[in-house]
């Protein structure tokens, strides 16, 4: 566990400078479903790290943390956590610039390669158990 915390601290440092702007997650077959902000504060109502908000709540249908939902299930073709997803979410900035696919699917071309995305993809099963605790581990 100590090793994980050290890795996260390192990735946080790098991620802070790599992602100076907020990235938005869009899902669905046409990427027209807004799924929240990737790197926003846990207090931001649209952040995936706000467990009381729409996109950070494990029970909301538009949350990547809903393991039974379209956008969080390991079996959904629209989920970042399906290793063979055909329609994983995309990451874009406020101007609509494409930053890559948010997915654990190693075969998806244009896969986003940010440290924060890699941490989420590697530890998503643990993160969804306590989103705000992981926010603190990653960003504090």
Residues 51-81: tens digit of each pLDDT? 999 999 999 999 999 999 999 999 999 999 9
Residue 53 near residue 43 (C-beta atoms within 8 A): no
> Judging by beta carbons within 10 Å of its beta carbon (0-12, 13-18, 19+), is residue 34 exposed, middle or buried?
middle
Structural domain boundaries of the chain?
A: 2-135
Secondary structure of residue 125 in the 3-state scheme: helix
What is the Cα–Cα distance from 103 to 100, expressed in whole angstroms? 9
Q: Give the pLDDT confidence score for residue 140 in this predicted structure.
A: 77
| Number of C-beta neighbours around residue 30 at 10 A | 8
b (16+ CB within 10 A) / e for 14-27: ebeeebeeebbbbb
Q: Say what the pTM is.
A: 0.85
> Please, which pLDDT band fits residue 35 given cuts at 50, 70 and 90?
very high
């Amino acid at each position: 566990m100590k090793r994980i915390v050290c890795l996260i601290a390192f990735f946080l440092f790098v991620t802070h400078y790599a992602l100076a702007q907020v990235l938005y997650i869009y899902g669905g077959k046409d990427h027209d479903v807004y799924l929240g902000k990737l790197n926003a504060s846990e207090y931001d109502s649209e952040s995936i790290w706000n467990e009381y908000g729409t996109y950070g709540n494990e029970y909301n249908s538009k949350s990547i943390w809903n393991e039974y939902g379209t956008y969080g299930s390991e079996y959904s073709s629209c989920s970042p956590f399906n290793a063979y997803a055909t329609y994983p979410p995309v990451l874009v900035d406020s101007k609509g610039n494409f930053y890559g696919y948010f997915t654990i699917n190693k075969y998806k071309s244009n896969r986003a390669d940010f440290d924060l995305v890699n941490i989420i993809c590697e530890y998503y099963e643990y993160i969804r158990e306590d989103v705000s605790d992981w926010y603190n581990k990653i960003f504090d």
